[in-house]
Structure 1
Amino acid sequence: MKEITIIGAGIGGLTTAIALEQKGFKVRLYEKTEQLKPVGAGIILASNAMQVYEKLGLRKTIEQNGYPISKMNITKANLKPLTKVDLSNFEQKHNIKSIAIHRGTLQQILIDSLTSTEIHLNHSLKKVIENANGYSLEFNTKKQSQTSILLGADGINSVVRQNLFPNKRIRHANQICWRGITKYNLPIAFKNELNEAWGESGRFGFVQINKNSVYWYALKTFSSSKNELSLNAIEKYFSTYNPVIKSIIAATKMELINTAEISDLKPTYAWYKKNACLIGDAAHATTPNMGQGACQAVEDAYVLSECLSKYDTMKAFEIYQNLRLPKAHQVVKTSWRIGKMAHLSNPILRGCRNLLLKLTPTTINKKQFKRIFQIPNL
């Protein structure tokens, strides 16, 4: 069986390697970082991702190391609810709980689940050269590697994509996101649920990820330059929010807060070329407004591994793209709209938005999540 090379050892790349191993493929994995250090952030594994991890035999381990979520709420800055999504129906339907977990913990679970794949660290891909036998890969180490099948799981700034699909455009949302994890005892009313508070030109979300820790994220819009927003002023930015939110920020060590600009990939309709294919953020990077970025990469891993086990390479890539592209694009487009709607600055528009959220029937929200949580039956 042909060897498969994956570029990128993030959640998507690691999950794909596990899925391919279980199908009997030999996999090589290259990662640009020198060490796979745990990032100080959490991750929400919704029902679609947890269904995949159930198929891969990892559900129980993930559940034991994370914290279940049964509700997802959008609120005002004072934490008064605007809309709620009860996940219990999906839990019963799929016999799966959504799990909030430390990203580093999930990463280690995935690494420990690999049995034969060697991860080559400190290998930053510089160039992809197509040849008669597949692709020659040039790395920062001056090392060259040959592969017959290439998978790009190297994120929104994918070098694989830049080499093979150079005309794809990254979109900037003009928003800064801060992420942190802190030891904090959440009031019982907020346990087992994700809460996201929408205020003026910003929002704040938090969720418990284990018995003692809370993962949180905060976003603010900038008008002209991301430099106009400072981590040192984060407490001021959210000073009008509920006291629980202010105390979560105060309990977090500033040096452990991760700062990033929010961007996505403008929807593209070509994910593969001959024996090379993109997965995860390399194919469909999304803004983090639906909690589906990593989940969509996990879903990619499952669908692609199933296709490669049943069809020749190019046919597998074609079917994978046909199955995954419509849903991934739906997530990207919807997430972009939510991000803009959440950051309204005009008080009249915010009032109209809040009223609309309150009046939206729960059946509409459930219908949307039903589509997102459904994974292909291959």
Structure 2
Amino acid sequence: MTIDIIGAGIGGLTTAIALEKKGLKVRVFEQSPELKPIGAGIILANNAMQVYSKLELKEVIEQSGNAISSINITNANLKPISKVDLAYFEQKHKVQNIAIHRGKLQQVLADQLRSTKIYLNHKLTDIIQNNGQYQLFFDGKEVSSQVVIGADGLNSVVRQKLFAGNSTRNANQLCWRGIANFDLPKTYTNELNEAWGKADRFGFVQIAPKKVYWYALKTKKASMNEFDNAKIGTYFSNYTPLVKDIIAATQQDQIHTSDIIDLKPTAIWHKDNVCLLGDAAHAATPNMGQGACQAIEDAYVLSECLANGLPNQAFQKFQKVRMNKAHQVVKTSWRLGKLAHLSNPFLIAFRNFAMKMAPKAVNRKQTEQLFTLARI
């Protein structure tokens, strides 16, 4: 049996590694003509790093990124509103949270594959079930497949062709992501800081020496289709000078813009010998930093299921094990995005006060639930 994975992103490659370690035969099809170190940064939270520890990738990933021991929500002047100290979870699970360039992580994962071939320049255009097999169509090429895993992202072709009734949601927020050549003050070296303003926010984290990944979001108005990248600094001019300095240190070709969109939770992730994974199944807004982390958890659970059962049975178990947590992340992340973008000064003041007063035990319990891996 050959398992075909559509998409060589973080979820697809992690799944390929996990399946390969189980002794299963895998092929990966990727639409890009080459794997290049492009994109922005990513936070591999404790739950994702637990998976990579199980896959014996903990050390190489730690060496390729920067350890993060604190996640802080602040006001526009970087005065703390809420803080999650990750030291407890680092000690409990024996892994750190790692900030890393997404392209670097993708290359690290691709380099770990031994028997699996990545077929580049294979953009899936259609998939048809035929006599228990699947015909995959890639811009003129046709491949016969026995088992298909759709790890092809928010706009998954696998989902669109085989799973009806799914819809995306637009949060009406524009997001800029950038990589700056910048020397952060030492106090921020091992922290992720996200500053909340009025209907906007700005986050930054070090991913390597003198390399800072940052992201900025702003609520879109009905009359405004997009903002000008060259004017990002003016949009956040009321933030601390450090924010403006980070933006100013970023070259324009290192800034990527996108709308914030998620996938409305859907009840069906699999059909016969086809299964959706990661953003193709449960794309979330990035407000919890869990999009890729949940795909990595998917990879771990799915590989365990496939190693111990026939594909259709394995996919049923995978969905049963993973759906509740993944959907909870989607829902919580959506609500958090709305909370972060309040514009009424009185509501902002109340929100900030409530977050400051929240017991640390409550934050720890919520984080514990997020970082706990499923038992298979």
Q: Deviations over 1:279-334 (max 9, x none)?
A: 00000000000010000000000000000001111111111101100000010000
Other-structure match for 2:311 = 313
Equivalent residue of 1:227, what SS?
Answer: coil
Match of 1:160 in 2: 158
Q: Report how many residues are paired.
A: 376
After superposition, the C-alpha distances for 1:222-257 in whole angstroms (9 at most, x for unaligned) are: 022552422122101110101111100011111210
Aligned partner of 1:351 in structure 2 is 349
Q: In structure 2, what is the Cα distance between the partners aligned to 1:159 and 1:13?
A: 14
Instruction: State the distance in 2 between where 1:301 and 1:264 align.
Output: 20
Aligned positions of 1:1-378 closer than 5 A: 2-140=1-139, 142-224=140-222, 227-378=225-376
Cα distance in 1 for partners of 2:74, 2:297 equals 29
TM-score by length of 1: 0.98
Gaps of 5+ in 2: none
Residue 79 to residue 253, structure 1, CA distance change in 2 (3 Å) = same
SS of residue matched to 1:5: strand
Distance 2:164 2:303 in 1: 25
Secondary structure at the counterpart of residue 289 of structure 2: coil
- Which SS does the other structure have where 1:326 is aligned? helix
In the TM superposition, residue 376 of structure 1 has moved relative to its aligned partner by: 1.5
CA distance in structure 2 between the partners assigned to 1:178 and 1:104 by the alignment: 17
3-state SS in 2 of match to 1:209: strand
In 1, are the aligned partners of 2:174 and 2:226 still within 8 Å (CA)? no
> Which contiguous aligned blocks of 4+ residues in structure 1 show a shift greater than 3 angstroms?
none
State the alpha-carbon separation in 2 of the partners of residues 321 and 359 from structure 1: 37
C-alpha distance in 2 between matches for 1:186 and 1:82: 21
Q: CA RMSD in A?
A: 0.9
1:347 Cα shift? 1.0
Once the two structures are superposed, what CA deviation does each residue of 1:136-180 show, in whole Å capped at 9, x if it has no partner? 11111x111111100000000000000111210000011111111
Alpha-carbon separation, structure 1, partners of 2:289 and 2:64 = 19
1:199-227 deviation line (CA, Å, top 9, x unaligned): 01110000011122111000011022552
1:166 & 1:181 partners in 2: Cα distance?
38
Query: Does structure 1 retain, via aligned residues, the 8 Å contact 2:11–2:296?
Result: yes
The structure-2 alpha-carbon separation of the partners of 1:228 and 1:180, relative to structure 1 and needing over 3 Å to count, comes to closer
Query: Tell me, which stretches of 5 or more residues in structure 1 are unaligned?
Result: none
Identity, % of aligned pairs? 59
